[in-house]
Structures are given as C-alpha cells and as structure tokens.
Structure 1
Amino acid sequence: MPSPADRLSQFSESVIRGMTRLANSCGAINLSQGFPDFDPPEEVLCALEQATRGPYHQYAVTWGAPRFRQALAQKITRNTGLEVDPDQHLVVTCGSTEAMMVAMMTACNPGDKVIVFSPFYENYAADAILSGAEPIYVTLNAPDFGYLRDELVAAFEQKPKAIIVCNPSNPTGKVFTREELSEILDLATQHDAYVITDEPYEHIVYEPHVHTYACSLPGAFERVITCNSLSKTYSITGWRLGYVLASPEVIAQARKVHDFLTVGAAAPLQEAAVAGLELPDSYYEELQALYARKKELFLSYLRRTGLPFTEPQGAYYVMVDISSLGFPNDTEAAKWFARELGVAGVPGSSFFREPEHRFIRFHFAKKEETLIAAGERLLRLADSDWMQRSKR
C-alpha cells in the first residue's frame, strides 16, 4: 500500500478540536474551542429564516454573492477609510481558515520562507507546510508577548516571501500597536515581502488598546493581504463565512485558489449575513462592552485561584500559567482540568514553537452563567486539600 504524503507527518490533528472532544466526553465546560454558547444578533437570525425561503439554494458567484460583497465592502470602508471595490478587492471564503490557506497559496511558492510569530494559532504552521513554505519563527515574549526588533530583523534578512500577523492575537490576546505594524510593514517593504494579517477579532479590543488595520497604513494596501471572518463578530462560527481583502492583482490570483479549494461559501448564509454587516456602529460598541464584562468576570475568578495569567488586550482568550501546580507538562494538566475540575482548556504548548509547557489557554466567549459555573470549579485550585485528594 502506498504511503500518504510526507508533509502530513510534520503536523498533527488540531489540539483545540481534540480538547473539545474530550470536554464533550467527560461533561466538562468547554473553554477550549473558541465559540459562543449564545445566539447571534436577532437581525441576523430573522434574515437567516427569510434566506432559507429565498432563491439562494444553488451556487452563489464563486468569489461571493454580489449583495454580500457589496455590504462587506461598505463595512470595510467605514472601518478602514479605504475605498473597497466589491468586484476588485474581495474574495469570500469558507471562514478565515480557508482565507488563510488561500492567502498562503497565493503568496508563496514551494520552498519560500514565511515568518510566523510564536505563540501562534495552530493553523499557521500547517498552512505553511501544506503550501510548501518553510516557517521562520519569531518569539513573542511573555508576559506582554512583544517581539524583539533584532530577532524580527534577522528573520527578514532570511528573505521571506511573507509574514503572518494575527491581530488581535489568538492565543495571547495581544493587540499589535500602530507603531509595531508600521515597523513590520517597513521591514516587509525593504525585503519585498507580503504582510498576511488574520483579523477575526477586530471588534473585540479592550481599552485603552485600539485595533489598527494594517492595510490602512500609508502605502500598505498593495502589500497587505487581509484575512478575516464574520464568525466572532456576529457569533456565527458555524456559518464559516470569511474573506480575503487585497489589491486587484492579488485577488485575481486568490480567486483561482479559492475556486479550486471550495468553489464557494454557502449561498443562503451569505444572504442572511448581510443583515449583520448592515448593523449600526452601536452594535460594535455594545459587542466590545459585552466582552469587556465577560473578560472581567472570568478574570475575577482566575485572580482568586492565585494562578498567574496575562490579561488580554483583545480577542477572548487568556493564557494561564499552571506551572506551580506540579504537573509534568501542560498537556497532562489540561486533561486533568477537563476530567477532574470539569473545565476544558487548550495546552499552551500547541501554540508554541519553543518547548513551552507553562500555559493553558481558556476562552470566555460564554454566557455569564457558564463563566460563573466554570469559575466556581476553578476555585477548587485554591483548596490545597482538595488538590491533594484529586491527584491521588
């Protein structure tokens, strides 16, 4: 029997989805895979009901339904100040996951190098391998997860074809500043590389931090390939609606990659999502306030456990340092958290290139009652007698 492709031996199945399966099997509260347990906006649900009765059950235009692209272009223009042409600058994908794969395969030839910040969302390393590209890792240093300029300069001197920037970052919650993005763009320009940004948490940023769209910086649009998703902003992770935003020259090639990867995103869901894209600015203000409350509620429990953590600047993840609990590694700790505490997170080592085993990543995109239930379970960590009994 022939062997599968060699490149598949270089990465494993998703650790995040694996922890969701473990949570489901043992009845743990799932704070591993980042999806809400509350409904999308009512306007979007009503539009979905109408779309299922409309003439939208066959293929949409491969690169995105016209009404969806028009609404999306208008929203991006409001946010970035760029004049986005729905016919020239966009290709609609099956989530940001496909958008990233499209961007990588559009930008990189086999054998090219691509800079990846570590820790990173687990798909990025797999995207590089599947594209035939070689990752160059640049460390984001705890506790603030900033990078060292000298290390980034040295990475660019290896002549990469692209750099990937997740902003706000999954898993760390770091929000890259305008100054950092400008520095990255300057280095990319100097070395003639693309900047591929992944921005699904664009509207989940905590004061005083501000989200900067890299593509909106002076001279950036021709070099930046923006990947994004509607999943987090409208609480529709299962709809799998994302997009690539770039110059016409890049989009013309990205559409070819997308066409032969998935043909197109779901037509009725594109029609329904227009209602979300047309929501007023007040919706995004309320979304930020909602997640700020969820963050503070969940972190209030973490503080009471005594475990160190890094307060996120954006997104809805928190990296918790569990090294003081005496587990051999973070994977064993995460499994114990799910089975014994009833709270599932993701072992942090799955996000790091470095041999890092201090962290578990939890997310707080849940109803208040879910976060309270998880928090009460986590408080058992402060009870040394219970800990000793549970580890026997």
Structure 2
Amino acid sequence: MSLHLSRRHEMVTQSEIRSMSLECSLQGGLNLAQGVCDTPVPEAVLRGATEAIEAGMNTYTPHTGIPELRQAIADKQERLYGMACDPESEIVVTAGATGALYSAFQALLEPGDEVILFEPFYGYHLTTLRSAGAVPVFVPLEAPGWSVGEGELEAAITPKTRGIIVNTPANPCGKVFSRGELEAVADVAIRHDLFVFTDEIYEHFLYDGLVHVPMATLPGMRERTVTISGASKTFSVTGWRIGWAIADRRWAPAIGHFSDLCYVCAPAPLQAGVARGMEELGWEYYRGLGLEYRLKRDRFCRALQDAGLAPFVPDGAYYVLADVSSVPGRSARERAMHILRTAGVASVPATAFYGGGKGESLVRFCYAKEDAVLDEACRRLREYALHATD
C-alpha cells in the first residue's frame, strides 16, 4: 500500500474564483473576480470588536456562539421578517456561512443523497455538497429572467432526493426569487418531504423595490428549512468569518456539533462586533445598502454595455454576468484572461457556475468596491472597448 491522497481531494481543488484572483495579483489588475467586498466596515461593528478585544474576550465561546449574537440574530429575523426563532435552541453561529452550510450538510445528508442545485450556482455549494458525499442534480435557471422552466423542478425529483438549495439573492446571476417562485419550491419540498437549504447571505442587497422573502416564513416550511446567512457581506467583513444557521430544534444541535468539530467556535471578539452592529444598525442601514449598491450596479453595467460586454442586469446581490462571446478566446477562461491582460480587470469564467460545458460565453464581475476602484474599472473597460475597435 502506498501513500496517496483521498478520492475526496479532487472535489475541493482551487476554485476558479481564487485562481482568477491569483492571476489578477500576478498581472497587477483590479480584482473584480472575488467577492471580497472592500467597502468600509460600519463604525459600530468595529467599535464592538475593539472593545471586546480590549476587554480580554480572547477565549473559546460556546460552540453555538455568544448569547448576545444569537439574540441579535433572533431579534433581526423577528423584526424584519416576522420569523420567530429561539436563540438558545435554533441558532448556531459558525465560521462563516460556508461553515454553516458544511455543518448542515454533514448533519442532515447521507452519502448518495441527491440535492437539487439551481444553475448557475455558487461553486462552494457544489463542492460542499460533494464533500458530504451528496449528489448534485442541476435544474437550470433560464436567462434573462433566470426563471425555472415549468415542471423542471418536479422532473428532477427522484426517490433519492433529500433536499433543495435556494440561493436568494443569488450568486452569480443576481436572481431574487419571488414569493410565488418560493411557494412553488415549497410545494415540491412539502409533497416530497425534502429539506430546503437557503443561502440568504445577500438578503439586504436588493434593487428596484424587490423584497427578500425567507423560505422559512412560508406555510409548512419552518421545520424543513435551514436558513443560512452571515455578516460577511452586510458589514463588509468577509475575512471575519461570522455566519449562522437557523434551523428547527431537532436539527440545530447536530449542525452545532459538526461546527464544533471543524471550527470549535467563530472568532470571539468578532462575534461581539457583529452583535453590536446588529443591535445598533436598523432597517435604515439595510435599506441603504440596496440604494448604495444599486448605484454601483447601474454605473458598472453601463460601463459593460459601453465595452460591448452586454450585462445580465442583476436584481440583487452584487455580481453581474456579462456576455463575452465577442472577446477573443475559445473558452470563458481564455476570454476572462484576455480581458485581464488587456483591460487589467479580473472576472471569473462562468463555467465555474455551471455543470458540464455551459457558461463559455459568460464571465462574472463583482462590483462590491469602493467608488474610486469601481470608477477605475469602468474607465479601463471603456478604454478596452476603444482599443478593441482600432
């Protein structure tokens, strides 16, 4: 017997997002590939973390998170969505939303279980599923409205189906599921007795009057929904790794135990900072995010249009898929590299968000940048377009 890697290692190779971020660094470009969200952190969040550090909050916390943060999460869900949840038995604070998703899959899925994944999908959803031994089953969202074809979700259900992943607002396409669309998913989940895992990390990045509807608030869905969110995007603290899962008290303890096994706890003083932000920043702050990022979206999409890279204008989140079929190259990666080398702006080949040969004519950009950086990216793309027509 020789030493060798496990078969699982092929499931978690470096993502295209990180790969393009590395290429961007090597090229000295502007990184609009990774959703790093480099806008300023709210003062209340920084103050809460700083005070916690100065007060010596440096040891392990309960594996489910500090009581103040769990209570703040419960209060927010009740205040914004009318969603009651017990902070003691139904909320688990984790090392980022990715940690919550991983722990939930480990707790609730068996190897061989099938889980429905809408595509284009977020790559970490796919690899996290596979690392749990689950089998993804793709249901396409049809552009430009990213709608689910009639009957396609039902047709994807088999006796092995165990769950459905719903990402709303969605990365990478910006899809915001309407109440009616969520009710259709809920109907399938209830009839087939399925879990629904929701990634709601972009819940406050909504445009043009759209509203976020948590799946767990729909009739019959509270007990079967695992709601996953976090502070990374809302407070621009992607490196802090503060996320959470909200689940029925039958499921939350097992999710917490897997989180404890992998991460022990989320960073103690940073939990305090997020709790402070959630306590002090109310609806006006969350509403302001949508207004601020709508302006960024519109400014960046105009630049893409001017550059001949037609955007699929998103309804939420802070990413945009753009049509790069006119860019030199035989694949999405070659086209993304051409844009990086000639315009100095990094994107992600959309093949990272599809299963099997799709997405070759698309790339994804992230516009969660400070205005000066975004303006420079817009300038470079417009200049790229001028050179492309010379």
Report whether the alignment pairs 1:209 with 2:192.
no
| 2:105 aligned residue | 104
CA contact (8 A) 1:327 1:333 kept: yes
CA contact (8 A) 1:63 1:255 kept: yes
| 1:387 aligned residue | 388
Distance 2:357 2:210 in 1: 30
- SS for the counterpart of 1:239 is coil
| 1:363 aligned residue | 366
Q: How does 1:238-387 map to 2 (within 5 A)?
A: 238-278=239-279, 279-356=281-358, 357-383=360-386, 386-387=387-388
Report whether the alignment pairs 1:197 with 2:195.
no
Q: Give 1:158 shift.
A: 4.5
Q: Give 1:374 shift.
A: 0.3
Report whether the alignment pairs 1:164 with 2:165.
yes
| 1:148 aligned residue | 149
| 1:180 aligned residue | 181
Distance 2:78 2:334 in 1: 46
Distance 1:303 1:339 in 2: 20
Q: Give 1:388 shift.
A: 7.2
| 2:40 aligned residue | 39
CA contact (8 A) 1:103 1:227 kept: no
CA contact (8 A) 1:16 1:346 kept: yes
CA contact (8 A) 2:319 2:366 kept: yes
Q: Give 1:287 shift.
A: 1.3
Distance 1:110 1:325 in 2: 41
Q: How many residues align?
A: 387
Q: How does 1:56-75 map to 2 (within 5 A)?
A: 56-75=57-76
CA contact (8 A) 1:225 1:245 kept: yes
Report whether the alignment pairs 1:24 with 2:25.
yes
Distance 1:113 1:311 in 2: 31
Distance 1:6 1:380 in 2: 46
CA contact (8 A) 2:112 2:160 kept: no
Q: Give 1:59 shift.
A: 0.1
- SS for the counterpart of 2:102 is helix
Q: Give 1:161 shift.
A: 0.5
Write the letter of the residue equivalent to 1:382: A
Q: Give 1:80 shift.
A: 1.9
Question: Is there any run of 5+ residues in structure 1 with no aligned partner, and where?
Answer: none
CA contact (8 A) 1:157 1:191 kept: no
Distance 1:80 1:155 in 2: 30
Distance 2:163 2:68 in 1: 32
Give CA deviations for 1:296-338 in whole Å, capped at 9, x if unaligned: 1111211212322210000000000000223211101111222
Give CA deviations for 1:4-45 in whole Å, capped at 9, x if unaligned: 111322453111111111111211011010122222111111
Report whether the alignment pairs 1:13 with 2:46.
no
CA contact (8 A) 1:35 1:237 kept: yes
Write the letter of the residue equivalent to 1:286: G
CA contact (8 A) 1:203 1:288 kept: yes
Give CA deviations for 1:257-313 in whole Å, capped at 9, x if unaligned: 111111110011011111211112111111111111111111121121232221000
- SS for the counterpart of 2:305 is helix
CA contact (8 A) 1:107 1:162 kept: no
Distance 1:142 1:94 in 2: 33
Write the letter of the residue equivalent to 1:250: W
Distance 1:10 1:366 in 2: 30
TM-score relative to the length of structure 2: 0.96
Question: Is there any run of 5+ residues in structure 2 with no aligned partner, and where?
Answer: none
Write the letter of the residue equivalent to 1:261: C
- SS for the counterpart of 2:72 is helix
CA contact (8 A) 2:327 2:338 kept: no
Instruction: After superposing the two structures, state which structure 1 stretch, 241-250 or 64-73, moved more.
Output: 64-73
